[in-house]
Amino acid sequence: MMKILLVCAVVLGVAHAHTLHLGRTCPNVLPFPNLSVDKVLGVWYVVYKFDTSNTCLIWNITRGQLPDTLLVKETRQLAMLDLLGVDHTHAVTAMVDIPNPEVPGKMRVRWPTSLTGKADFVVFDTDYQSYLAVFECDKAGLLHRRSVTILSRTSTIDDMFVNRVRRLLDTAEVKHSALSNISHESCRRSGQHNWHVDEELFGLLPGVNEDEVRRRISEGVQDYDISQLEIIGEGVDSFRGSLKSAQDQPVV
């Protein structure tokens, strides 16, 4: 029963941390020029994020064991479980790779809780010491999902940094009204239940070791796109057929 509650809470948390948009084209958010990856490593407090009710979000960014890879460990308290009075903490570790070391700010991320494979992970602004801004976008069929995260080295952030990030989003034509302030009050370091998902979806499938993760990355199996699934493909063909039929109708 507790695992079912966890799955429901995680699914709701993931769904509400994005905004959904028609079309498969992600906005062109420019990466931060000449990003020094080593300077963004370490602990960051998530102070703003798209449409989420979860609290106490913290990222710990570290180097991965493979070249040009990072690990992002996100810890948080799930709103649904807090509402039910479950004493808990939840953590998930994402794998991030840098496809082009010449453009280190433009990365790809794979969250274990994602059903759509890898997503764009763009560090588009930072001063390394005070704040960090990340834009994520992934594609699913005829849609794409967006998420913006603003982080701080402390649990609070100066409004001038938030306003700067909003201006950059305006320039990239990314609406940001969904940015929610993340509370860091009443945060617990550990609870009666402490879940950490860093291997398979929701931790419900058998885990894999680091060698298996490396094998999967080398084979590219994590870089799938849900739009390639047969059921989605059939839906796209059906949609195109309906659209063509409509276009063939004479205009009255």
Task: Identify the band that residue 86 occupies on the pLDDT scale cut at 50, 70 and 90.
Answer: low
Residue ranges with strand state E in the chain: 19-22, 42-50, 55-63, 69-77, 88-97, 106-110, 119-126, 131-140, 143-152, 179-181, 193-197
- 142: Cβ contacts below 8 Å, ≥ 6 apart: 22, 23, 24, 227, 236, 239
* Token pair for 180: 């929610």
Q: Which residues pair with 42 in a beta bridge?
A: 61
Q: Over pLDDT 90: what percentage of the chain? A: 49
Whole-structure pTM value: 0.71
Helices within the chain (DSSP H only): 2-15, 79-83, 159-171, 210-219, 230-248
Query: Pairing state of beta strands 193-197 and 88-97?
Result: parallel
Min mean pLDDT across 8-22, 163-177, 210-224 is at 210-224
